[in-house]
Amino acid sequence: MIELSGLTKRYGEKVAVDDLTFTVRPGIVTGFLGPNGAGKSTTMRMILGLDHPTAGDVRIDGRHYHELADPLTYIGALLDAKAVHGGRRAYHHLLCLAQSNGIPTGRVHEVLETVGLTAVARKKAKGFSLGMSQRLGIAGALLGDPRILMFDEPVNGLDPEGIHWIRGLMKSLATQGRTVFVSSHLMSEMALTADHLVVIGQGRLLADTSMADFIECNSRSCVRIRTPDRERLLDALHGAGITAVETGDGLLEVEGGKAEHIGELAARHHVVLHELSSRRSSLEEAFMRLTAPSVEYHARTEPPERPWGADWDTGTWRGAADTADPATKTTAEG
């Protein structure tokens, strides 16, 4: 079990983690979600004693990390897959970890086998792809056969087979009664793995809920309708006590309605329908609604104008260069 109580971390003016209190329980996978910069990694570093809290406390089965003897046999973690000495071979990296934590050498072979790296065990880590490095990091986390496992974005860099494998691995570790705490910024990923969710935004707790409750509360269903007889359909819906809203793109939307009922109602009133579809809002949308006020880094979906841009028809550059000294003016040809 991991217990956080009023955990806070400030970096100067920046409050990276803000008074977090929650418990990560054994026997289930707990997903730790939040947009970029929400404070997930900082929280995980504090759990492992790699960062010192400004305030509050975090305990692993009632003890601070530094109080654990042979900590790898208590809690295994993957925080940064590339934080491995590049010149070290995978086998020797794991052997060093094992020897410094009183773990038998035979366990190195076992975990290499588990993560599928046996064939490259004698290769240097610097030649590893991100996916292979993730697997090596996971092997390190599993090495001490710990009762608590923590993974920071473990599917990063994994191919579809690897993603499928890590999902299965996390679930089976939880089924064995271990505490599994895994961070992600992808709700869709967590929906497939996590039994419980802790959501943070700008360091603050936004939700601490079972996955089932989150799905129950957030998966809205609605019926979308396109019709050239809008007024007649609205009257018919109104007469049946059904409220429709306009979506702004020429469609009508009925929340919680059933497509077949609306289709039959339209038929009875001789209303032509061009489209009738049921739609369930995704968990990703629910997550975005929950975290929208705390998203720090917004990107634009449309590419920037070409203020300096190349005129692709003529092959010349315009904009700032047009007003510059003709001597320094550049053309696409060089």
Ligand X SMILES: Nc1ncnc2c1ncn2[C@@H]1O[C@H](COP(=O)(O)OP(=O)(O)OP(=O)(O)O)[C@@H](O)[C@H]1O
CB of 323 to ligand X, least distance (A): 38
Nearest to 107 by CA among 82, 147, 73, 74: 73
Task: Give the one residue of 37, 53, 71, 144 binding ligand X; rule: CB under 6 A.
Answer: 37
Query: Binding segment for ligand X among 40-48, 130-138, 239-247, 303-311 (CB under 6 A)?
Result: 40-48
DSSP secondary structure letters along 20-65: EEEEEPTTSEEEEE-STTSSHHHHHHHHTTSS--SEEEEEETTB-G
Task: Give the one residue of 34, 71, 144, 162 binding ligand X; rule: CB under 6 A.
Answer: 34
Residue type present at position 196: H
Q: Can you tell me whether residue 80 is helix, strand or coil? A: coil
Nearer to ligand X, 20 or 222 (CB): 20
Cα distance between residue 156 and residue 159, in whole Å: 9
Angle between helices 106-115 and 90-100 (to 10 degrees): 130
Cα distance between residue 127 and residue 134, in whole Å: 13
Nearer to ligand X, 42 or 218 (CB): 42
CB of 185 to ligand X, least distance (A): 5
Asked if residue 40 binds ligand X (CB under 6 A), the reply is yes
CB of 208 to ligand X, least distance (A): 16
Task: Give the one residue of 4, 18, 29, 39 binding ligand X; rule: CB under 6 A.
Answer: 39
Cα distance between residue 18 and residue 290, in whole Å: 17
Residues 214, 189: contact at Cβ < 8 Å? Answer: no
* Residues whose CB is less than 8 angstroms from the CB of residue 92 and which lie 6 or more positions away in sequence, other chains included: none
Nearer to ligand X, 36 or 328 (CB): 36
Asked if residue 16 binds ligand X (CB under 6 A), the reply is yes
Residues 45, 195: contact at Cβ < 8 Å? Answer: no
What residues from 151 to 190 belong to the interface with ligand X (CB under 6 A)? Answer: 185
Nearer to ligand X, 40 or 224 (CB): 40
Query: Binding segment for ligand X among 11-19, 244-252, 276-284, 286-294 (CB under 6 A)?
Result: 11-19
Residues 112, 40: contact at Cβ < 8 Å? Answer: no
CB of 45 to ligand X, least distance (A): 8
Cα distance between residue 229 and residue 236, in whole Å: 11
CB of 36 to ligand X, least distance (A): 4
Asked if residue 82 binds ligand X (CB under 6 A), the reply is no
Query: Binding segment for ligand X among 36-44, 64-72, 113-121, 280-288 (CB under 6 A)?
Result: 36-44
Task: Give the one residue of 4, 7, 38, 98 binding ligand X; rule: CB under 6 A.
Answer: 38
Residues contributing to the site for ligand X (CB under 6 A): 11, 14, 16, 34, 36-42, 185
